[in-house]
Amino acid sequence: MNFGKVAVLFGGASAEREVSLMSGSGVLKALQSRGVDAHAFDPAQRDLSELKRDGFARCFIALHGRFGEDGTVQGALELLGIPYTGSGVMASSIAMDKVMTKRVWLAEGLPTPNYRLLRRGDYDRKKVVGIPDELGLPVIVKPVREGSSIGVMKVQGYSGMVDAVEQASKLDADVLCEQFIAGDEVTCPVMGSGESARALPVIRIVAPDGNYDYQNKYFGNDTKYVLPCGLPSGEEAAIQEIALKAYRVLDCRGWGRIDVMIDASTRKPYLLEINTSPGMTSHSLVPMSARAAGMSYEELCVHILSTATLEHAKS
């Protein structure tokens, strides 16, 4: 396809800038290797209006987190009339907010761990310390609108709750306290839109001490990625089915990745969150799963670029 002049948006101003720089550099190199007229564009250093001025025909969004994955950049590109990869404004905005995502999934009958939302200024020490009485221990504490496991803490006892909430609140006004599900941690990439969307192979993640944090995600070499996932017969298909439902009910498009925990005792899957602009680094999971499905990194990047569109174009 003749894509015209393509901007690869990466870097940005979020807490995930470092990861985005790695993702975008890989995407840029891959597209250029396939003859695409692709150029780097960092929204933290250039105004988005320059995309129109400089004649860019479409954008590959390799931004992560706020101001890139949350509907803000998507809205700007809609106004500029420049097609972009990934989900539209509303789906991106909802997916970036872990609590709003949970509310939609629960309304649609999809399983996700129990939770409590703490809004800054609307909770005190007594309320925070009492959360394990509702959710049990351990408790997962995380900022509502951050990715890459930034600010996420696993609290083992009552005494750790205040510090965990305090740390998370430095990154977001709202803090999510979530029931911990002990068992297999898996992820499932999805490609496409609507009923034509399809799930890629499931990856089982085995992190050191079960701690799949920022360091183990992107920089360490101790995390094991099991692919084929090795789940019991029928479980991978069930995970793919629930991932597709979770993706579709949010009206996601293009591509995404759904993270799931499988309860060790009941084998019931619980949806954790969805990523609408997943990582594309050397440690990233979507390229890994796509490769298992027979698609190279370069082919994956070109395919994602080919799905770039505007929200109104869907109708």
What string of H, E and C letters represents the secondary structure of 37-95?
Answer: EEEEECCCCCCCHHHHHCCCCEEEECCCCCCCCCCHHHHHHHHHCCCECCCCHHHHHHH
Q: Give yes or no: 218 in active site.
A: yes
Is residue 273 flagged as an active site residue?
yes
Task: State how far Cα 200 lies from the chain centre.
Answer: 15
| Active-site residue, from 193, 279, 289, 297 | 279
Of 84, 115, 214, 218, the catalytic one is 218
Active site residue 14: no
Q: Which of 69, 146, 273, 311 is catalytic?
A: 273
Q: What is the dihedral of CA 223, 199, 303, 292, to 10 degrees?
A: 50
DSSP 8-state secondary structure symbol assigned to residue 157: S
Please state, in angstroms and as integers, the Cα–Cα distance from residue 174 to each residue in 34, 98, 118, 275, following that order.
Answer: 43, 10, 6, 19
Choice among 11, 16, 172, 192 that is catalytic:
16
Out of 23, 92, 93, 275, pick the active-site residue.
275
Is 279 one of the annotated active-site residues of the chain? yes
Q: Which of 148, 277, 284, 289 is catalytic?
A: 148
Our answer to whether residue 259 is catalytic in this structure is yes
- The catalytic position among 146, 172, 236, 259 is 259
Contact yes or no for 213/268 (Cβ under 8 A) = no
Is there a cis peptide before residue 189, judged by omega within 30 degrees of 0?
A: no
Residue 122 DSSP label: S
Which residue in 71, 169, 257, 289 is the catalytic one?
257
* Whether residue 115 lies in the annotated active site: no
Cis previous bond, 228, omega within 30: yes
List the end-to-end C-alpha distance of the chain, in Å, as a whole number: 23
Residues designated catalytic: 16, 148, 218, 257, 259, 273, 275, 279
